[in-house]
Amino acid sequence: MEQRIELAVSTVIFALRPHPTTGRDTLWLPLVKRIREPFLGQWALPGGPLKPAEDLVTSARTTLRRTTGLEPSYLEQLYSFGGIDRSPDRVVSIVYWALVRPDEDARAIDGENVEWFVADEVPALAFDHNAIVTYALDRLRAKITYSDIAHAFTGEEFTIAQLREVHEAVRQVRLDPANFRRQALAHPRIVATGRHVTGTSHRPPALYRLETA
């Protein structure tokens, strides 16, 4: 009899929150404590077996809602992992990633056995999930340099300083504010809204938005 191959959908969910020691924004992700073998008691990426009536993104969306209460607008397929030794059973995991905006993250509600961790400081995870987290971080840090993916972390409207802070948090660098502003304003699809941040400042920063291509 042929061995059965199981199919799971897992999710890597990134949000920017302050680092517990430095206080600077950094990438966090939620993990779920396993309540059964294998890897009982260890942390793992949220996910579960694909159900016959669910398509892939619906499965990812269901996991997201159950573990974090979130319905982030950025949810994409990341990669499928199918090494033969990644689990005691043969399991192929199709991994989605979600990028959560601050206004979305404000509505996060932790599910059972769920805890958020600094993405670069996760403990030893179940299965090959450390490798999956590393893959996701590498992909995000590469993609932010040649695409508009940073805007998945900004609101619809953002100041140039907010956009720079997203780049700094994701790439773990400090960027020169004047240089960054010059480059951002040269972007053909970053346009001024004509509005400004409301508040007490006597020179409130201008709000921009990203025009869709």
Q: Which residues bind to a second copy, rule: CB under 8 A?
A: 2-5, 7, 50, 52-56, 77, 79-80, 82-84, 90, 92, 94, 146
For a second copy, the closer of residues 53 and 178 by Cβ is 53
- Closest contact distance (angstroms) between CB of 45 and a second copy is 16
Tally of residues, the chain: 213
Given a contact cutoff of 8 angstroms between Cβ atoms, the answer to whether 120 and 137 are in contact is yes
The residue (of 54 and 168) whose beta carbon lies closer to a second copy is: 54
- Short-list 31, 4, 26, 2, CA closest to 127: 31
What sign has the CA pseudo-torsion 80, 14, 103, 62? positive
Q: Which is nearer to a second copy, 64 or 114 (CB)?
A: 64
187, 211 in Cβ contact below 8 A?
no
Per DSSP bridges, beta strands 91-100 and 6-18 are parallel
Measured from the CB of residue 177, what is the shortest distance to a second copy in angstroms?
26
Closest distance between a second copy and the C-beta of residue 209, in Å? 23
Find, among 86, 95, 179, 200, the residue nearest to 139 by Cα. 95
Shortest CB 1 distance to a second copy, Å: 10
**Residue from 166, 153, 132, 160 nearest 25 by CA:** 166
Beta carbon nearer to a second copy, 17 or 171: 171
Minimum CB distance to a second copy smaller for 84 or for 106 = 84
Nearest distance in Å: CB 60, a second copy: 10
Please say whether the beta carbons of 194 and 132 come within 8 A: no
